[in-house]
Amino acid sequence: MLPVARAALNLAVRGIQHAAVRQAHRKHEPNFHDKYGTLVLLGGAAVFTTVWGYVLTQLGMEWGLSPVGRITPREWRE
């Protein structure tokens, strides 16, 4: 390996090692996900459950194993 390339590689490795050490000794500051992650997840689950609960109860679908003979068209409203 050429001495110039070896020196450049050594500097790059030293910079990466220095950044890793500096980051390892830093105090952990909570970010958005640490602060609100669980709240956002629970809110999304509540909205999902509410919307699908509404859709499934207000759709007017007859539940059964076979829809043959059970689904009839509604009369057209004029």
Q: Distance from CA of residue 19 to its chain's centroid?
A: 29
The Cα 8–Cα 14 span in angstroms is 10
Q: What is the pLDDT of residues 22-73, one digit of tens each?
A: 766 677 788 888 899 999 999 999 999 999 999 888 877 766 666 666 667 7
Q: Where are the domains of the chain?
A: 1-56
Instruction: Number of helices (H) and strands (E) in the chain: give both, helices first.
Output: 2, 0
The Cα 48–Cα 40 span in angstroms is 12
Please give the sequence-ordered ranges of beta strands (E in DSSP) within 1-78, or none if there are none.
Answer: none
The Cα 1–Cα 15 span in angstroms is 20
Instruction: Give pTM, 2 decimals.
Output: 0.43
pLDDT category at 18 given cuts 50, 70, 90 is confident
